Amino acid sequence: MPDTFTPPVIPTTPVTPAILESLRAIVGDKGLIVDDAGKEPFVRDWRGVLAGNAAVVVRPGSTEEVSKVVKLCHDNGIAIVPQAGNTGLMGGATPYPAHAGIVLSVGRMNRVLEVDTVGYSMTVEAGCVLQTLQETAASHDRFFPLSLGAQGSCMIGGNLSTNAGGVQVLRYGNARNLVLGLEVVLPNGDIWNGLRSLKKDNTGYDLKHVFMGAEGTLGVITRAVLKLWPAPKDVATAWLAVRDPKAAIEILSEAHSASEDNVGSCELMNRAGTDMVLRHIPNVQDPLKAETDWFLLLEWSSSRPRSDGTEGMSEKMEQFLADQMEAGRVLDAVIAQNEAQARNMWVIRESVAPASRAEGPGLSYDVSVSVSRVPAFIEQGMKAVYDILPSIRPYPLGHIGDGNIHFSFMGPKGMDRATLGQYSPAITRAVNDLVRDMGGSISAEHGIGIEKIDELAHYRSKIELDTMRSIKRALDPKNIMNPGKILRL
Ligand SMILES: Cc1cc2nc3c(=O)[nH]c(=O)nc-3n(C[C@H](O)[C@H](O)[C@H](O)COP(=O)(O)OP(=O)(O)OC[C@H]3O[C@@H](n4cnc5c(N)ncnc54)[C@H](O)[C@@H]3O)c2cc1C
């Protein structure tokens, strides 16, 4: 965030002692956190970059309690910051320093209410941890595909509110594609019950899509009906040293038919990113000690169990990799021989964010372009950034099958955060201008939050921004629901 950032104007009506007692009457003592030490984890962001304030953290235990809390705030003009696992990377869940209202945490609402194995769906509360939902589905021989590095602590309410992406989008779509129905508490406290488990429902505007990706600015998601899939039974995971990003895209393009439409994930990393993980994350092994710059984590999976005598995913992949080596795209490759080896490959990919936090200050841009333009974007983007700061250390990575690149950089060795911050506006403009010129998006999956509020205003048309403001004003005329996030009103 540049030093020049001016925070948006937000309502600052204080929580009086009388309102605090009313909140206590709704959620009880166990649902309130008022001491500074207790509030601390709720007013800082995961990266340790942003910090704000809240009069109180309110932790309701049910939709009815959320509704009463929101109504009380609405009637008194008190601002609310909805929060789930607090792993968001754009500051959407972090209150501003001027925030005088509440943080509303859904963490206590963590029940799986129903698993429908025949209808392939499950109904859950917003505070369920993502990994718990994956495990619940697996225990019923089903699969919930949303998967990302923060899955041990992020919660489904936050995943849906950010329309999270992750490493299975290629095959299953992003979070909004995994939802059949939603329940939402609106900014006036009304409960919208859209908890339908219908695959087809063309009855007017599809309201659930208004709330997904809204980052808590339009209401509080309290429950959801999620789609399930058959559990994968035959999985092949491989770590490939590839010639360059262009080869990586071509490999993916060929992999679809070679795998018989079974590509699950395709993740690009470079040597610098891999080495950073090996430096900071314990018990991780380098799958390939290849002296090459680019790697691809490729996973194929099928719900058909392996049976003796038939060719499984690994055999198909082995043949495919041999062909790709002959074509000069793959330089070396290893297929995981057991779950531990596959897990090790995934830990490398998923540990880039924590490793970069340990490494020092950096800059990261979560952007997307059309899949075939990924190589040109990486090449031109790196050149543009090197022109501004030649000693910066790039480690681009990402879900390249979705055209989503985490265009990431560590600051030059020894450079502190403040000095790097002086280069940040020029680098941000260069990267995002290139994204625009290539017809891409300045936020592929992390959202807007606080961090990209001015970038969104810079790159989106007036008509688009005005339409978003109209929706916000219609649902939240008092601007109490996560004010100052996504848009300046
Ligand atoms: C290590 C790491 C890896 C990550 N990898 C990915 C990745 O691959 N793909 C990806 O998309 N993201 C990724 N993220 C970002 C983050 O995990 C996701 O954005 C996640 O979906 C946020 O969930 P959360 O529960 O932590 O939400 P929070 O951070 O608590 O909230 C996120 C936003 O949603 C709002 N919100 C939260 N709960 C509700 C609710 N119940 N109702 C309404 N609004 C609500 C908040 O106000 C905020 O604006 C990663 C983060 C980390 C730390």
CA distance 371 to 262: 18
Hey, what are 308's tokens? Answer: 């003796």
> Ligand 1 pocket by C-beta < 6 Å: which residues?
46, 81-89, 92-93, 106, 126, 148-150, 154-155, 157-159, 161-162, 164-166, 215-216, 220-221, 353-354, 445-446, 449, 482, 485
Which residue's alpha carbon is nearest to atom 7 within ligand 1?
166
Between CA 164 and CA 114, with CA 180 as vertex, the angle to 5 degrees is: 100
Instruction: Please name the residue ranges forming H helices in 100-155.
Output: 130-139
Q: Best of 87, 182, 208, 346 to mutate for ligand 1, by most ligand atoms within 8 A of CB?
A: 87
The model's confidence at residue 2, banded by pLDDT at 50, 70 and 90, is: low
CA distance 405 to 435: 11
Which residue's alpha carbon is nearest to atom 52 within ligand 1?
150
Instruction: Please name the residue ranges forming H helices in 184-264.
Output: 208-211, 245-258
Whether 360-443 and 112-230 are alike in CATH topology: the answer is no
Please give the average per-residue pLDDT across 365-376, as a whole number.
97
pLDDT digits over 38-65, tens only? 999 999 999 888 999 999 999 999 999 9
pLDDT of residue 300: 97
- Chain-centroid distance of CA 18 in Å reads 38
Crossing angle for the helix pair 374-388 and 417-437, to the nearest 10 degrees: 140
Which residue's alpha carbon is nearest to atom 27 within ligand 1?
158
426 — phi, psi (to 5°)? Answer: -70, -40
pLDDT digits over 228-271, tens only? 999 999 999 999 999 999 999 999 999 999 999 999 999 999 99
| Atom from ligand 1 closest to the CA of residue 157 | 41
Q: How far is the CA of 284 from the centre of ligand 1 (A)?
A: 26
Q: How far is the CA of 330 from the centre of ligand 1 (A)?
A: 34
pLDDT of residue 289: 84
Q: Which CATH number fits domain 360-443: 3.10.20.740, 3.30.70.2740, 3.40.50.300, 3.30.200.20?
A: 3.30.70.2740
CB 212 within 8 A of CB 185: no
Q: How far is the CA of 154 from the centre of ligand 1 (A)?
A: 6
CB 427 within 8 A of CB 385: yes
pLDDT digits over 192-201, tens only? 999 999 999 9
Q: Classify 234-352 by CATH class.
A: alpha beta
Length of the chain: 489
The four Cα atoms 132, 133, 138, 139 give a dihedral, to 10 degrees, of: 70
Q: How far is the CA of 103 from the centre of ligand 1 (A)?
A: 15
CA distance 388 to 408: 15
Instruction: Please check whether the domain covering 112-230 is classified as CATH 3.30.465.10.
Output: yes
Q: How far is the CA of 155 from the centre of ligand 1 (A)?
A: 7
Question: What average pLDDT does the chain have?
Answer: 96
**Domain-by-domain residue ranges, the chain?**
112-230, 234-352, 360-443
The model's confidence at residue 1, banded by pLDDT at 50, 70 and 90, is: low
Q: How far is the CA of 106 from the centre of ligand 1 (A)?
A: 13
pLDDT digits over 59-104, tens only? 999 999 999 999 999 999 999 999 999 999 999 999 999 999 999 9
Q: Best of 58, 106, 129, 148 to mutate for ligand 1, by most ligand atoms within 8 A of CB?
A: 148
What pTM did the predictor assign? Answer: 0.95
Hey, what are 127's tokens? Answer: 């505070």
What letter does residue 239 receive in the DSSP assignment?
Answer: E
Q: Which helix (H) or strand (E) covers residue 161, if one does?
A: helix 156-161
